[in-house]
Amino acid sequence: MEFIETLSQMFTYTFLVRALIVGLLVSLCASLLGVSLVLKRFSMIGDGLSHVGFGSLAVATAFNWAPLAVSIPVVVLAAFLLLRLSERGRIKGDAAIALISASALAIGVFVVSKTTGMNTDVDNYLFGSILALTQQDVVLSVVLSLGVLIIFVFCYHRIFAVTFDETYARATGIPAGFYNTVLALLTALTIVLGMRMMGALLISSLVIFPALSSMWLCKRFAAVTICAAIVSLVCYVIGLVVSFVYQTPTGASIVLVNLAAFTIFYAISRLRMLRGA
């Protein structure tokens, strides 16, 4: 009852309603994409892109440009670049991500220090703020999540093939490059939308944690995907409520709830193994 009362109290604040809608939709997209990214060993792409997002937001703020208009194309471009570098470049995937990630962060910090200074805006970009969300974010989140869901439902088997065995997927006539590009594009958009709420340093947790937690308990791709989506949504709501009740930073609260879920799932899987042994 107390929980319901807290929720209804939360819904009296417009910014919290926005945070709930955007957060749930971004969490759903991030968890669905996360399963493929983790299995393809692209987990750190989310982290790299969020740093690029920070750099672009810092530049946009410094020059007084619209944040999303700058960060969406920049992060999408970075996603394509990371994908190409991992596939064809001389620099291997993890090194390419580290290179781009550190450079973007440095550009952001440099631009900020030379212009607006390390003010509240920059702090919000790094660690997130639910106050930063606008009506435009709500609309974009709805459009993005619909896009991700439609692609997942209609291309499920193809995404599955590209995730598990790209060589065989190509051999059976699946344009793996196209699906990799779609995954990168959707990840970039998810990162940009979720970044201002979760923070550049924490947004990648929405991509990685739910998938990893689910993999402790589920073995099949469909089960892992559904479980990851549920875990992500539940953790988001709990994290948001914790943040509201205890006045803690939202992004950090959500990550800690995800960490708790990961630990519980790990413990359950170990118990199962011990009972089976």
Taking the complex as a whole, how short is the minimal distance between the CB of residue 224 and other proteins, in angstroms? 10
Q: Is 87 in the site for other proteins (CB under 8 A)?
A: no
Q: Which residues of 49-88 are buried (b: 16+ CB within 10 A; e: fewer)?
A: bbbbbbbbbbbbbbeeeebbebbbebbbebbebbbebbee
What lies within 8 Å, CB to CB, of 51 at 6+ separation is 100, 101, 102, 104, 105, 108, 200
Point out which span in 2-10, 69-77, 111-119, 157-165 binds other proteins (CB under 8 A).
Answer: 157-165
Taking the complex as a whole, how short is the minimal distance between the CB of residue 150 and other proteins, in angstroms? 16
Taking the complex as a whole, how short is the minimal distance between the CB of residue 88 and other proteins, in angstroms? 13
Q: Which of 164, 263, 264, 268 binds other proteins (CB under 8 A)?
A: 164
* Of 177, 205, 176, the residue nearest 190 (C-alpha): 205
Q: Which of 88, 114, 219, 275 binds other proteins (CB under 8 A)?
A: 219
Taking the complex as a whole, how short is the minimal distance between the CB of residue 94 and other proteins, in angstroms? 23
What lies within 8 Å, CB to CB, of 124 at 6+ separation is 131, 132, 196, 199
d(CA 109, CA 173): 45
47, 204 contact by CB (below 8 A): yes
Taking the complex as a whole, how short is the minimal distance between the CB of residue 241 and other proteins, in angstroms? 35
How many residues does the structure list for the chain? Answer: 277
Point out which span in 65-73, 94-102, 170-178, 248-256 binds other proteins (CB under 8 A).
Answer: 170-178
275, 150 contact by CB (below 8 A): no
Q: Which of 35, 174, 240, 256 binds other proteins (CB under 8 A)?
A: 174
Considering CB under 8 A, how many residues would be counted as binding other proteins?
Answer: 18
Q: Is 88 in the site for other proteins (CB under 8 A)?
A: no
For the chain, the maximum distance between any two Cα atoms, rounded to a whole number of angstroms, is 62
Point out which span in 26-34, 91-99, 186-194, 214-222 binds other proteins (CB under 8 A).
Answer: 214-222
Q: Is 272 in the site for other proteins (CB under 8 A)?
A: no
Residue placing its CB nearer to other proteins in the complex, 8 or 167: 167
Point out which span in 51-59, 67-75, 128-136, 215-223 binds other proteins (CB under 8 A).
Answer: 215-223
d(CA 143, CA 136): 11
Taking the complex as a whole, how short is the minimal distance between the CB of residue 265 and other proteins, in angstroms? 17
